[in-house]
Structure 1
Amino acid sequence: MKRLAFLLAVAFLAASASAHAADTTVQMLNKEPGSKDRNVYSPELVQIEPGDTINWVATDRGHNVEFVRGAFPKGVKPFRSKIGKDVSYTFSKPGVYVYKCTPHYGMGMVGIIIVGDQSGRLKEIASKKYPGKAGKRIKALLAPLI
């Protein structure tokens, strides 16, 4: 009986280890190293699975993360971090999440998280209206996937 319980425990641990969610780091930068791009997230586009976590690191201060209204899944609460602070968010709902740096949104500081298979929604997200350079940047990020 103890042997059976032990084997079941080992099997459970092995199964849960293989189902472990992933973490991805995104930096908030004033300038992308080796590039002329200013006020950027790096990487700007990340594809993950439900249950995965994004860790935004304020490598350079003066930036934050805020979901763009109308450009994240229905039923998800709006999200906004404090400026200059590291923040993490676990994505439990599949969908496309467009986010911005509040102070630098019009300058094109945006990023995209794709949770699960969302190929059918990318054109819709790309066709939305965004201010300033943000719209051009979002279209450029999504173009290779559409």
Structure 2
Amino acid sequence: MAVSVAFMTDRFNLSVVGDNFINDCCFGEDVSYWLVSALCAEGIEARVVCMEDFGWANRARFAGSSYLICVGGYALHEPSRPNYGQWRVVLERRRTLMQTIQGKSKMSEADPLVIKVKQFLIDAGFAQVDIEPSLPSARRGIVVQSD
């Protein structure tokens, strides 16, 4: 399970497709670097990993857990605000096979990293910051470097 934190802003690129994009919706590099910097400033080990076909993948370690943090966004196509759109930060805590089988250490809205990320977004002044729980696995179909 994964938890998504959604927000609205025009502060990040959603309008210029980069030459290095895997496809036309790989936005999120600037959001990833901003978020990783905010996490690191709080003493949380975090790093930007790579572009994916949906956006960007990142890693973090916090409170004894390892997380995959995926970032993606889509523009609302307002001509006067080409970068205005909705972003999602999808967080998934890494679990062992045994934890998965036993149903332990599940991700939830109350996860400490979810709470931190939501607060970063609120403090940054982004609009409509909201947690969207119970998403399918963020890892499904995603290949990222292991820890």
Taking structure 1 as the reference length, the TM-score comes to 0.34
Larger radius of gyration: 1
Taking structure 2 as the reference length, the TM-score comes to 0.33
Answer 1 or 2: higher relative contact order, Cα 8 Å, separation at least 6: 2
